Structure 1
Amino acid sequence: MSTGHVEYASLNGTHIFKLIGEVRAQSCISLDKLLARIEQQENVVGAIVDLTQTTFIDSTVLGVLAKLGLKLKQAHHIQAVMLSTNPDITTLANSMGLGQVFVILNYCGDPTVCTQALLDDNVNHSTMLTTVLDAHKTLMKLNKNNQNMFEPLVKQLEKQQDDMECASDTEPQHNA
């Protein structure tokens, strides 16, 4: 179980994402859903990802953040800002290629920014699988090293997803 969480705030088209503690795949389902809604908005002027209170971040979360950075660049021509004060987190983000889609700053800002926790609702195996798969596919797009590193995982996840779809297609339909 994750001991971290994601908080969010928005003001006049600027979106702030604050990742606190050990943030793992389970914590980013709501974030991924939120990104889909933000992508559809027209008044997006900026985004800040605050990692100053992040103690651990897994590759799925990094992939979701990469997706955020890529979508903002493509849809809104905005380069998002990532704040990090933990050298390990900064090195990890850079090694995964996030420096290509974010301006990464070492910043110790005001920890009392008014964000609210994103709630992890409707988390099921299928939703988790889709989020993890999409996040890792996004990381693979950033650089060749990521592509080589995550290709076996992505193939395995795609097979699981196909197996789940086949199983649901072969289940008998019950008419009420």
Structure 2
Amino acid sequence: MSIGHIEYASLNGTHIFKIVGEVRAHGCISLDKLLNRMDQSEQVVGAIVDLTETTFIDSTVLGILAKLGLKLMSNHHIQAVMLSTNPDITTLANSMGLNQVFVILNYCGTSDVCTKALVDENVTHSTMLKTVLEAHRTLMQLNESNQNMFEPLVKQLQKEQAYVQPEAYNSKV
């Protein structure tokens, strides 16, 4: 379970995502749902991902962020900004290839932003499995290193998904 949380705010088409504390897969389901709703919006002019208060993020969260960056580039022709003050978090983001879809800045200013925490409600095993699988597939798209690193996990998650949701698996084959 997550010790941290994700906050969100939007103003005039600029979307702000703030990841606070230690956030793992379970803590990013609502973020994934929000990205899907945001993808339908025509009023997207920018996005900022604030990692200045992030102490840990797992590969699923990184995959969801990669999904955000990729969708903004392909659907809205926007390169999002990522703010980070923690060298370990910055190195992790760069090593996963997020610098291909974000402008990553070492931010030293104030982080006072009026965001509200995203709340995950009714997270099912199936929803969690789908989110984790999509996040890692997205990371695999960024570079060959990620492809090699996450391919065994993705294959295992696909097997589990086929077991949990055989009709979903059969429709993708």
Work out whether the TM-score is over 0.5. Answer: yes
Are residues 67 and 167 of structure 1, via their aligned partners in 2, closer, same or farther at CA, if it must alter by over 3 Å? closer
* Cα distance in 2 between the residues matched to 1:104 and 1:98: 8
Q: 1:161: which partner in 2?
A: 161
Counterpart code for 1:65: L
- Where in structure 2 are the equivalents of 1:52-71 lying within 5 Å? 52-71=52-71
* Cα distance in 2 between the residues matched to 1:72 and 1:33: 15
**SS in structure 2 of the partner of residue 42 of structure 1:** coil
* Cα distance in 2 between the residues matched to 1:138 and 1:65: 9
What TM-score do the two structures reach when normalised by structure 2?
0.95
What TM-score do the two structures reach when normalised by structure 1?
0.94
Counterpart code for 2:15: H
- Where in structure 2 are the equivalents of 1:16-95 lying within 5 Å? 16-95=16-95
* Cα distance in 1 between the residues matched to 2:7 and 2:117: 4
Deviations 1:133-170 (A, max 9, x none): 000000000000000000000000000000112399xx
Counterpart code for 1:48: I
Deviations 1:109-150 (A, max 9, x none): 322210000001121100000000000000000000000000
* Cα distance in 1 between the residues matched to 2:156 and 2:76: 33
In the alignment, structure 1 residue 119 sits paired with structure 2 residue 119: yes
Q: Which has the larger radius of gyration?
A: 1
* Cα distance in 1 between the residues matched to 2:70 and 2:14: 16
State the superposition RMSD in angstroms. 1.4
Gaps of 5+ in 1: 169-176
Counterpart code for 1:109: G
**SS in structure 1 of the partner of residue 22 of structure 2:** strand
Q: 1:7: which partner in 2?
A: 7
Q: Once the 2 structures are TM-superposed, how far is the Cα of residue 30 of structure 1 from its aligned partner? A: 0.1
- Indicate the larger mover: 104-113 or 37-46: 104-113
Count of matched residue pairs: 169
Q: Once the 2 structures are TM-superposed, how far is the Cα of residue 91 of structure 1 from its aligned partner? A: 0.2
